[in-house]
């Protein structure tokens, strides 16, 4: 009968163990359920670094002082510089073409004759006025009797004749077609021996010492780029990867009515004097070197919301948002600068500031929400 006692004790121990497991299992399940209530979010550790951004913008080249030289009178073209083809550079005052001035010489002589006749008529009226004033005794005589309107009309006729003479002389001078400034020939619209009419286009030219580059800038980039305009370092690069240094000519005082973008107009000096020319009406890349920043971070492109914000997980595993300024944008990553660091909760990893950036922010996220961060490898 004695062996039954150890069996009884072993049975009691087994029953106690099973009961203890059954009692503890609901608590573990409950803890697991509580832990699963926190929303999991994927994060990356973004280190705060010193960074000098280089922003690349899209611009369009535009000819400077593009204008047309037109004939000022009907005449035959008697001389044309045969070297004047599109792309040729000419200096200010260079003679481009000559028009026949025979008709204008005759017109000028006629205008000179009209001046002499007007002077003669004025002298005649002034002499008659002197005689009339001596003969008139009554002080109440009319102005017509005193020859006042006649003299005024003679003076007006003389003034008109002199203006006509000056106009003819000006058109006579313009029979010699000259470059008004240092220019590049964009188009030649005449041929030797051709008869041209007044206001007919002869040449299309543009300034050769400079070329404009129109660059639209969005509102998000404006704050960052405008600060770099104090000491700009700007390069204009074409599709052949040729580059030219550029300076700021002016900032448009109004935004585009359709896109609401600001426009900056750059100047490229002497674009036509190199072997590879920078031509008007082509799209170019504009590379702007900005000032170095000390609180910049590199984040995945997916982390930026439409409102220009990022979601950060603080050291209490709670969500918070921060507004950022985009410094440089790539295909899969962004360099941004956090606008306000006052609300950030930063950790220290190997002496560097680190932010837990949410990789895929959702519209359902809320400030202060408890989450379970899941770290993703990111370089």
**What pLDDT sits at residue 1?**
46
**What pLDDT sits at residue 8?**
57
Instruction: Annotate 289-316 with b (16+ C-beta within 10 A) or e (fewer).
Output: ebeebeebbbbbeebbbeeeebbbbbee
Q: Determine the Cα–Cα distance for residues 294 and 51; give it in Å rounded to an integer.
A: 7
Count Cα neighbours of 265 within 13 Å in the Cβ-side half-sphere: 13
**Cα Rg, the chain, nearest whole Å:** 43
For the chain, domain boundaries: 39-52+292-375, 55-63+209-289, 67-96+179-208, 101-174
Q: Determine the Cα–Cα distance for residues 232 and 12; give it in Å rounded to an integer.
A: 87
138 pLDDT tier (thresholds 50, 70, 90) = low
Q: Determine the Cα–Cα distance for residues 98 and 107; give it in Å rounded to an integer.
A: 18
Q: Strand, coil or helix: what is 180?
A: coil
Place of tokens 């058109």: 171
Q: Determine the Cα–Cα distance for residues 77 and 125; give it in Å rounded to an integer.
A: 45
88 pLDDT tier (thresholds 50, 70, 90) = very high
pTM above 0.75, yes or no: no
**What pLDDT sits at residue 50?**
84
Superfamily of domain covering 55-63+209-289: Efflux pump adaptor protein, beta barrel domain (2.40.30.170)
**What pLDDT sits at residue 343?**
46
Question: 39-52+292-375: which CATH architecture?
Answer: Beta Barrel (2.40)
More confident site: 4 or 274: 274
Q: Determine the Cα–Cα distance for residues 234 and 290; give it in Å rounded to an integer.
A: 9
- Give residue-wise pLDDT tens across range 214-236: 999 887 778 777 777 777 789 99
Among the residue ranges 134-138, 283-287, 299-303, 333-337, the one predicted with the least confidence is 134-138
**What pLDDT sits at residue 292?**
80
348 pLDDT tier (thresholds 50, 70, 90) = very low
294 pLDDT tier (thresholds 50, 70, 90) = confident
Percent of the chain with pLDDT strictly greater than 70: 84
Quick check: 171 pLDDT over 80? yes
**What pLDDT sits at residue 105?**
95
Q: Determine the Cα–Cα distance for residues 377 and 137; give it in Å rounded to an integer.
A: 116
More confident site: 211 or 15: 211
β-bridge pairing 39-47 and 352-358 = antiparallel
Q: What is the mean pLDDT of residues 285-305?
A: 87
Quick check: 76 pLDDT over 90? yes
Q: Determine the Cα–Cα distance for residues 161 and 112; give it in Å rounded to an integer.
A: 8
331 pLDDT tier (thresholds 50, 70, 90) = confident
Q: What is the mean pLDDT of residues 112-136?
A: 91
Fold of 67-96+179-208: OB fold (Dihydrolipoamide Acetyltransferase, E2P) (2.40.50)
**What pLDDT sits at residue 19?**
59
Quick check: 141 pLDDT over 50? yes
345 pLDDT tier (thresholds 50, 70, 90) = very low
Q: What is the mean pLDDT of residues 187-203?
A: 94
Q: Determine the Cα–Cα distance for residues 268 and 276; give it in Å rounded to an integer.
A: 14
**What pLDDT sits at residue 349?**
36
Structure tokens at 69: 């030289």
275 pLDDT tier (thresholds 50, 70, 90) = confident
**DSSP letter, residue 5:** H
Mean pLDDT over each residue of the chain, to the nearest integer: 85
Helices 102-135, 148-173: axis angle to 10 degrees equals: 170
From first CA to last CA, the distance across the chain in angstroms is 75
Domains 39-52+292-375 and 55-63+209-289 are alike in CATH topology? no
**What pLDDT sits at residue 338?**
79
């Amino acid at each position: 009968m004695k062996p039954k006692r150890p069996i009884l004790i072993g049975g009691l121990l087994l029953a106690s163990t099973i009961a203890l497991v059954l009692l503890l299992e609901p608590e573990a399940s409950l803890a697991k359920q509580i832990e699963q209530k926190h929303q999991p979010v994927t994060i990356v550790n973004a280190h705060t670094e010193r960074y000098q951004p280089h922003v690349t913008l899209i611009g369009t080249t535009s000819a400077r002082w593009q204008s047309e030289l037109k004939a000022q009178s009907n005449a035959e073209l008697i001389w044309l510089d045969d070297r004047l083809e599109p792309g040729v550079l000419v200096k200010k005052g260079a003679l481009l073409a000559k028009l026949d001035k025979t008709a204008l010489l005759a017109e000028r002589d006629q205008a000179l004759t009209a001046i002499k006749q007007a002077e003669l008529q004025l002298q005649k009226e002034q002499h008659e006025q002197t005689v009339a004033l001596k003969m008139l005794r009554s002080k109440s005589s009319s102005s017509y009797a005193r020859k006042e309107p006649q003299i005024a009309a003679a003076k007006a006729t003389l003034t008109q004749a002199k203006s006509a003479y000056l106009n003819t002389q000006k058109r006579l001078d313009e029979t010699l077609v000259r470059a008004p400034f240092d220019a590049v020939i964009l188009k030649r619209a005449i041929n030797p021996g051709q008869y041209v009419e007044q206001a007919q286009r002869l040449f299309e030219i543009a300034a050769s010492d400079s070329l404009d580059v129109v660059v639209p800038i969005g509102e998000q980039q404006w704050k960052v780029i405008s600060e770099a305009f104090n000491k700009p370092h700007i390069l204009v690069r074409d599709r052949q990867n040729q580059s030219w240094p550029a300076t700021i000519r002016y900032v448009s005082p109004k935004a585009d009515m359709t896109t609401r973008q600001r426009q900056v107009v750059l100047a490229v000096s002497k674009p036509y004097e190199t072997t590879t020319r920078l031509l008007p009406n082509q799209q170019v890349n504009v590379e702007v070197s900005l000032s170095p920043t000390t609180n910049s971070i590199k984040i995945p492109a997916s982390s930026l919301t439409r409102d220009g914000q990022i979601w950060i997980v603080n050291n209490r595993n709670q969500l918070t948002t921060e507004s950022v300024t985009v410094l440089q944008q790539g295909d899969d990553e962004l360099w941004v600068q956090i606008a306000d660091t006052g609300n950030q909760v930063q950790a220290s990893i190997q002496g560097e500031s680190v932010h837990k950036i949410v990789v895929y922010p959702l519209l359902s996220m809320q400030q202060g929400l408890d989450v379970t961060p899941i770290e993703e490898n990111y370089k």
